[in-house]
Structure 1
Amino acid sequence: MITASVVTFHTSYVDLKRLLDCVLHSSIDIFFIIDNSSNDSLREFASLSDKIVYIHSDNLGFGSGHNIAIRRSIELGAQYHAVINPDIYWEGDVAKLLAGFMDKQEDCGLVMPKVLYPNGDIQYLCKLLPTPMDLFGRRFIPFKAYQEKHDAWFELHRTGYAKVMEIPSLSGCFMFMRVGTLKQVGGFDERFFMYAEDLDLCRRIGEVSKTIFYPEVSIYHKYEKGSYKNRKLLKYHICSVVKYFNKWGWIFDKKRTVTNRKCVEQLGIK
């Protein structure tokens, strides 16, 4: 069984309908809409199919919402669960292809497909584990040349994003995960309201299994970068990043150093 979930918050009807069209033509057996909106106007989408389960929830954050679906997936005995953003869409049966890959990679707990902008350009969402400078410097140091050079290294541009790679930090916009692994690590850390929860989960999954980028499958992502445009979202972003480094270490993080060194050596980009 393959389950999946989306967390909504007054989400665009157009975006959600487009995602659901993809879901309903895929191998996803049950799709959870966890609605953190102040009203339940999105409930009407549950009438599209018996495979859609709508749950109106208190807004306790992105990870908390997805954990509702993850717990249900564990109870149902699902084999795989996908965490999907509302602004994602694809062609073909992505879930079937990713499940087929995972079936052959029993040591893989998380896989992310190639993520494209709507115009077909690659989104560089494979990353090393961040230092404080990686997250704060790239955002607040106003030198374009520095930012471009830093991003090229941090986001592993030199790999070309054309081969299967084990990557320590993969984007939360589309996370296809083994339910047994999710049960083992406990799902998202609900102390993160929004942002960095995917980084934290990916890192914890990486401690017990492989986290893999699989470019043979691709999806599309509008990628609004909300925290770059909205001060409230920026505040959430900064608070979550602080919580992340308080949890894992700011300057001294031996596991980060070892993991990143192993990654770049395996990819041959030292």
Structure 2
Amino acid sequence: MGEALMGKIDLKVSASIVLYENDRREVEHVIHCCLQATEIGKLYLIDNSRENKQQEYTFDERICYVHNGRNLGFGAAHNVAITASINNFDYHIVVNPDITFEPHIISVMVSYMEEYTNIGSLMPKILYPDGELQRLCKLLPNPLNLFARRFGIPGAWRKLINSKYELQMFDYNQIVDIPNLSGCFMFIRTAVLKKVGGFDERYFMYLEDVDLVRRIGREARTVFFPSVSVYHAYQKASYKNLKMLKFHVVSAIKYFNKWGWVFDKERKEKNRDTLLRLESKQR
């Protein structure tokens, strides 16, 4: 497996998709989106499913399929690809299997990252399949953001909590630094990944993207880039499935144990600066 993973490619970008009992048609669709982008030199399919599907998915020489045989979790599985690609590529993209995009967006994002070398992570505009905006630019969470809003605090207070945390005042039409960007499509500079490491594998699922973007933000800019868009089905599984809800709650506890429940100076400063930045852009 090591030789297959570590082959040197001259192209600038690698990408990884983590699979777990996914619909084959959905997976093949996102694979083709990635392969149509000529800048992507290697696409890693890291499969946590029970069944080995290497023959189904290795239909292109740029695909590297790794079957784990057990569910490592989201971050740990992506780390398999990150470890393999980090010395061979300038950029790595974390892609959800329910993502769709036009191939030209990769070259646009590469060009922007090449121009602004102080950016560590870039997130494009994320849309639902019908074109509706997904508000995935957020502040760094506090316990109230995650627990109160998830378990249904009613009325105006909940609306106020959501409005500030989800940056409802932001129109999503400007390039801006944001401290909390979604993990459904993460365009990351590998030089920064070398400094901060990959995903924290203590999170089985949920909050690992918040944690990684936060660590990247200590070394470089983390930027929302609305010049290009991707489409994301966005299942919100933890709102529908008790097992996924348990993963979400456990990850939230681990996140706040690591970064601080009440006393988190960095969170306070980052969120304050973000709100001031957005207010100045709305004037």
TM-score, normalised via structure 2 length? 0.92
- Taking the aligned partners of 2:54 and 2:154, their CA distance within structure 1 comes to 42
Paired position in structure 1 for 2:219: 208
SS in 1 for 2:58: helix
1:13 corresponds to which of 9, 24, 27: 24
Q: How far, CA to CA, are the matches of 1:193 and 1:73 in structure 2?
A: 22
| Distance change >3 Å, CA 43–CA 128, structure 1 → 2 | farther
For structure 1, the 5+ residue unaligned runs are none
Q: Distance in 2 between matches of 1:263 and 1:170?
A: 13
In 2 relative to 1, CA 145–120 (structure 1 residues): closer, same or farther, beyond 3 Å?
farther
Could you list the runs of 5+ residues in structure 2 that have no partner in the other structure? 1-11
- Which SS does the other structure have where 2:86 is aligned? helix
- Of 57, 71, 79, 1:67 maps to 79
Paired position in structure 2 for 1:44: 56
Counterparts of 1:267 and 1:140, CA distance in 2: 28
Q: 1:42 to 1:230 in 2, by over 3 A?
A: farther
Does the 8 Å contact 2:18/2:47 carry over to 1? yes
Amino acid of the residue matched to residue 50 of structure 2? Answer: S
Structure 2: how far apart are the matches of 1:43 and 1:224?
Answer: 28
Normalising by structure 1, we get a TM-score of 0.96
- Contact kept, 8 Å, 2:34 with 2:103, in 1: the verdict is no
User: Post-superposition shift, 1:43?
Assistant: 4.3
Pick aligned residue for 1:25 from 12, 36, 41 = 36
Query: 1:247: Cα distance to partner?
Result: 0.1
Deviations 1:197-254 (A, max 9, x none): 0000000000110000000010000000011111111101100000000000001101
Distance 1:244 1:22 in 2: 33
Q: Which amino acid aligns with 1:232?
A: K
Q: Which residue in 1 is equivalent to 2:149?
A: 138
Match of 1:239? 250
Do the aligned residues in 1 keep the contact of 2:121 with 2:223 (CA within 8 Å)?
Answer: yes
Which of 35-44 and 195-204 deviates more? 35-44
- Asked whether the equivalents of residues 43 and 54 of structure 1 are also in contact (C-alpha less than 8 Å), the reply is no
Aligned to 1:11, what secondary structure does the other structure show?
coil
Q: CA RMSD in A?
A: 1.4
Query: Which moved further from structure 2: 155-164 or 87-96?
Result: 87-96
CA distance in 2, matches of 1:42, 1:224: 26
Q: Deviations over 1:96-127 (max 9, x none)?
A: 11111101110000000000001111000000
The one-letter amino acid paired with 1:221 is: H
- Deviation at residue 145 of structure 1 after TM alignment: 4.3
Report % sequence identity. 46
Q: Structure 1: which amino acid aligns with 2:80?
A: I
Q: Secondary structure at the match of 1:23?
A: helix
Residue 227 of structure 1: aligned partner? 238
The match for 1:249 among 253, 256, 260 is 260
User: How far, CA to CA, are the matches of 1:108 and 1:249 in structure 2?
Assistant: 26
| Contact persistence 1:36–1:56 (CA under 8 A) | yes
Distance 2:63 2:158 in 1: 42
